[in-house]
Amino acid sequence: MKLIAKSAEMQSISESHRLAGKKIAVVPTMGYLHEGHISLIKKAKELADVVITTLFVNPTQFAPNEDFEKYPRSPERDYNLAQENGSDYLFNPATEEMYPGGFHSAINMTGITDKFEGEKRHNHFNGVATVVAKLFNITKPHIAVFGQKDYQQTLAIYQLVRDFLFDLKVVVAPTIRENDGLAMSSRNVYLSSAEREKAGVIYKSLSDALLVIEKGENRRKIINAVLHNTLRSVHEIKIDYASAADADTLEEPDVFLPGEHVILVIAVYLGKTRLIDNALITIPNDPHIKKHYFV
């Protein structure tokens, strides 16, 4: 695997692979790789001839009061994991390479990004969209692989690709979980051992809500109440949001109709650590038929 730090070099390499008829897949990450990231690299390897993993902690998607400075970083470890799991290139630029002096442009996203994460983390998705667009232009992929744990982000990426006519396919891979159901995340390292023991309540709240939907519940307020009640069983949990919404639009109707796809989205603080998770379900025509899957 080759380490690349300069955008011009990465563009040249990608262009040469394209001219040779090779299919390129990119896996954008902020590093501190875990099994979730590794699953994305492996998926990319299945789909393409050349896999580029990007490693860049993007400052423009962090608010001033967020964890940019302390976000976990381990470049050497990341290099080894990317190499061991099939990546052909690791693009690891400096901040000055991605945002050189005189850089004053940014993408402004609206619509799918207006609520949930967008409401709680102002300007977050503008930063995500800007850096992802730059990474697409640098790596020139045919396929971009993202994880479903950041569900609203995947919807934003789909919108970005549509709106700016990027000639690539977005692939979203399932969330990888710990044994107790906690979604793998680089920020999990922030949790104390006591907090880690209690973090499984997030998965339990999703499971409880899915169960009532499977039994025939389709009223949003009741589904939300199940999410909230389970989360509140751990007094250290502070709920940022926990809600059922239309899986495509994130609209929140009073009642979901049979056959509609619903996303359960959660963001909580456990101590000082902010964690997100989600699950998808199709409202059944027959309440005895289970039609859900965690993502």
Torsion angle defined by CA atoms of residues 94, 159, 275 and 255, in that order, rounded to the nearest 10 degrees = 170
Report yes or no: 147 and 173 within 8 Å, Cβ to Cβ: yes
142 is catalytic: no
**List 17, 37, 124, 142, catalytic entry:** 37
Q: What is the DSSP letter of 123?
A: T
Distance (Å, whole) CA 76 – CA 84? 12
Contacts of 10 (CB under 8 A, 6+ apart): 4, 52, 89, 91, 138, 139
User: Sheet harboring 143-147: ordered strands across?
Assistant: 2-4, 89-91, 50-55, 24-29, 143-147, 169-173
Catalytic residues: 37
